[in-house]
Structure 1
Amino acid sequence: MKKKWGLLAVLTFGLYVVAMYFYFFHSQNSEIPAALKGTAADPSTFLTARELVLSEDLSKIRNFLFFIATPFEWLLYFVILIAGISCLFEGRSPSQHKWAIWGNAQYLFFLSLLLFVLQFPLDYYRYVLSKSYGISTQPFSSWMRDNMIDFWMAFAMSVIVVTILYWLIKKSPKRWWLFAWALTVPFSIFLMFIQPVVIDPIYNDFSPLKDKALETKILSLAAQADIPSNHVYEVNMSEKTNALNAYVTGIGENSRIVLWDTTLNRLTDEEILFIMAHEMGHYVKKDIYLNIIVYLLMTLIGLGGIAKIMPWMIRRYGPILKIKQMSNIHSLPLFLLISSFLVFFSSPLFNAVSRYQEARADEYAMELMGNPEAAVSTFQQLTKVGLGEVNPSVLVKWFRYSHPPMLERINNVSDQAEKELN
């Protein structure tokens, strides 16, 4: 029975991979609408012939990898369960410890290490792909260092979260999900508060913006938007990437305006100011609070769904999955599988909300700056440097795009500029 289910899972995944391959490499059509050809939104007007080819090829590969990576993760969780590997890891983590956290830590270390090793080839291929297309500049040693930091930070956090979660499941089998959700509220806010000053500096070096004339312009723009900020920071991302970015992060007194040095080196002051005006638009429109509300609401629904789905699966397929009861920590791969599944299929909703916010921030930046030329050239530069896909398919847009595609952003900016002129 175990072999039958395992082979069925592998075969299903294989057929899915083949279907995705043919969709992205042989049937997808992302041509520019005839009405927009020759306009500022047409990539042929601002990308070279070689860049157009590279952008198209890279987009196909990226989209394909995205749509197989998460199902591959589901396959791993499933195989770990039916092969008895999860039970084996729990057996190597004796529960006789005075504190359950130590047994949980041992189990989670084995599980995390196995998943890291099995997913490493795909992660490494993505790294090599990014380097081969000239987007990543990060040496392998630096990339591995970031991976190790990710591993240990995720491990430490999962030990705390999983220990509390399974303690709640044991203490309150019917209402654990409600108590767990209640704890995510202060935990999420705490992480948002410490991220700019504790987590982000582990990966990169942050320093006050060296260009004081530009800092004065940015702070003046922030003052126009009634944003309380006294400093702008730059981060040395050129050691890792050629991509461009800028953002406002954190909450309260830990909030920061951050510019990547790649952005400073590549864009003009007017283009940088448009990006900053866009980010300030998120602050003014209070998007961070809307995001918190949406996240907490979806987390509540998700945990409630897991509380219904997981016991049902254990009752029906427990012998196959090697799970007798939900409160045993070796049921964690099933918890992660269901969570990943729900997150993946709810991502179009999250992305739709995000695209709405981004479009609104673009409109605010246009109103604040009144410089459509800078807006258009900024979007064109972002596309050029990142070899981005200007007009993705609907499927890709739903699942991958938290920002409107560049075709829409450039066209919307042009339309808004025309309306203001008229």
Structure 2
Amino acid sequence: MARKIGLYGIIAYILYGLFFYWYLFYFADTSLPFEYEGSKADPATFLNGRELMLSEEYSKIRNLLFFLSTPFEWLFYLFVLLAGLSGAFKKWAGQSSKYKIIQTAIYTIWLTFFAFVATFPLSYISYSLSKSYNISTQSFSSWMKDELIDFWINFGTMFIIVAVLYWLMKKSQKRWWLYAWLLSVPFTLFVMFLQPVVIDPLYNDFYPLKDKQLEAKILELASEANIPSEHVFEVNMAEKTNALNAYVTGIGSNSRIVLWDTTLNRLNDEQILFIMAHEMAHYVEKHLYIGIAGYLLLSLVGLYLTYRLMNYAVNRWGEALKIPAVHDIRSFPLFLMILSMLLFVSSPVSNFVSRYQEMRADRYAIEMTGNTEAGIGTFQELSRAGLSQVNPPLLVKIFRYGHPTMLERISMIEEYEIEKMRQSEE
């Protein structure tokens, strides 16, 4: 049975990979609808021939890597179970210490290490790809340092999850999912509160905006939206990437708006103010807190479904998977596999909500600044810097895009311009 499950898993993964290779390289049409040709959203109007070619090449390969990476993670966890590695980790942990908490830490470090080794080739391919297309400027040693930071953060997080989760499972085999969710609420909020001041600085240097003239303009814009001025930071990213970005992070007193220094170097002040207005919209419209609420609701449903699916899988295939009971720590790879599958399946919904919020923020930025030219120039430069497709394939948009496509963002601004012209004529 174990061999049959493993064989079916490998066949399913190969067929899945072939489908997305065919879809991305031969079936999907990324050309613009004819009504947008020659518009400001047409990449041919702001990218040269070489940039257009590189954009298509890079996007196809990067999207294929995305679709291959997540199911590969499922296949890895399935292999860990079928090969008895999860049982071996538990055995090694038991032989190393008589203390339960140390045994849990040893089990977790082995699983984290094997997962790191298994996924390292795909991570390296992704790094090499971005390097070859001049998106990444990061040295191998710097990239490896970030990978190792990821490893230890993943280990620490996973250790806490394993220790708490399996303690709850043994205390209540029918309600552990609910208690786990209740504990996850303060834990999630605590991590989000710490992230800007503890986790993010492990990777990059953050500091208040250096350009004081630009800072004065941003502060003036922020005051119009009643946003605390101390929440604007810049981060040193030029040594790692040529891509541009700005984002909102943290909650409460640690919340802040962050600008990459690449964004500051590549865009003019008017374009940066447009981005700032966009990020301020997330504060004004409480998108961060709406996102937290949505995440917590989704995690409640996800944990309940994980509980049901784990019981079903152990009852039906427990012997083949070498899992004697759900509350045995050997079932943890199954827990991670099911949770990852549910996150992947639910991503179209969460991405749809995110795209709606981002479109609202774009609209807010246009109305706040009144500078449509800066908005269009910003999105065109974002496309150029990241070699992103203006009109990506439908499945890529559904599963990958938490922002509207550049076609949607630029055309929305053009429609706003037309609307304003009509109003002025009336």
Would you say the 8 A contact 1:78–1:333 is kept in 2?
yes
Would you say the 8 A contact 2:24–2:393 is kept in 1?
no
**Partner amino acid, structure 2, of 1:379:** F
Per-residue deviation, 1:24: 1.1
Per-residue deviation, 1:8: 2.2
Would you say the 8 A contact 1:55–1:389 is kept in 2?
yes
Per-residue deviation, 1:175: 0.6
User: Any idea what the Cα deviations from partners look like across 1:152-190, whole Å, max 9, x if unmatched?
Assistant: 011012111210011001101111111111111111111
TM-score after normalising by structure 1: 0.98
Would you say the 8 A contact 1:101–1:159 is kept in 2?
no
CA distance in 1, matches of 2:240, 2:98: 44
Would you say the 8 A contact 1:314–1:326 is kept in 2?
yes
Residue 39 of structure 1 aligns with which residue?
39
Matched, 1:261 2:261: yes
Map 1:148-187 → 2, pairs under 5 A: 148-187=148-187
Distance verdict in 2 for CA 1:62–1:413, change over 3 Å: same
Would you say the 8 A contact 2:86–2:333 is kept in 1?
yes
Would you say the 8 A contact 1:207–1:233 is kept in 2?
yes
Residue 346 of structure 1 aligns with which residue?
346
User: Any idea what the Cα deviations from partners look like across 1:93-117, whole Å, max 9, x if unmatched?
Assistant: 1189564221111011111111111
**Partner amino acid, structure 2, of 1:13:** Y
Percent identical residues = 57
Q: Which consecutive unaligned segments of at least 5 residues does structure 1 have?
A: none
**Partner amino acid, structure 1, of 2:81:** L
**Partner amino acid, structure 1, of 2:86:** S
CA distance in 1, matches of 2:120, 2:71: 15
**Partner amino acid, structure 2, of 1:51:** E
CA distance in 2, matches of 1:337, 1:132: 32
Per-residue deviation, 1:248: 2.6
Map 1:67-146 → 2, pairs under 5 A: 67-94=67-94, 97=97, 99-146=99-146
Distance verdict in 2 for CA 1:324–1:176, change over 3 Å: same
Per-residue deviation, 1:393: 1.6
Moved over 6 A (4+): none
CA distance in 1, matches of 2:355, 2:233: 26
TM-score after normalising by structure 2: 0.97
Matched, 1:275 2:290: no
Of 394-403 and 247-256, deviating more is 247-256
Per-residue deviation, 1:68: 1.1
Map 1:272-351 → 2, pairs under 5 A: 272-351=272-351
Task: Give the match's secondary structure for 1:168.
Answer: helix
Please, what is the CA RMSD of the aligned residues?
Answer: 1.2
Per-residue deviation, 1:350: 0.2
Task: Give the match's secondary structure for 2:94.
Answer: coil
Distance verdict in 2 for CA 1:215–1:166, change over 3 Å: same
CA distance in 2, matches of 1:119, 1:254: 33
Of 312-321 and 93-102, deviating more is 93-102
Task: Give the match's secondary structure for 1:125.
Answer: helix
Residue 382 of structure 1 aligns with which residue?
382
User: Any idea what the Cα deviations from partners look like across 1:275-299, whole Å, max 9, x if unmatched?
Assistant: 0000000110000111011001000
Per-residue deviation, 1:242: 0.4
Residue 10 of structure 1 aligns with which residue?
10
Q: Which consecutive unaligned segments of at least 5 residues does structure 2 have?
A: none
Per-residue deviation, 1:230: 2.9
Q: How many residues end up aligned between the 2 structures?
A: 422
Would you say the 8 A contact 1:247–1:276 is kept in 2?
no
Would you say the 8 A contact 2:93–2:106 is kept in 1?
yes
**Partner amino acid, structure 2, of 1:405:** T
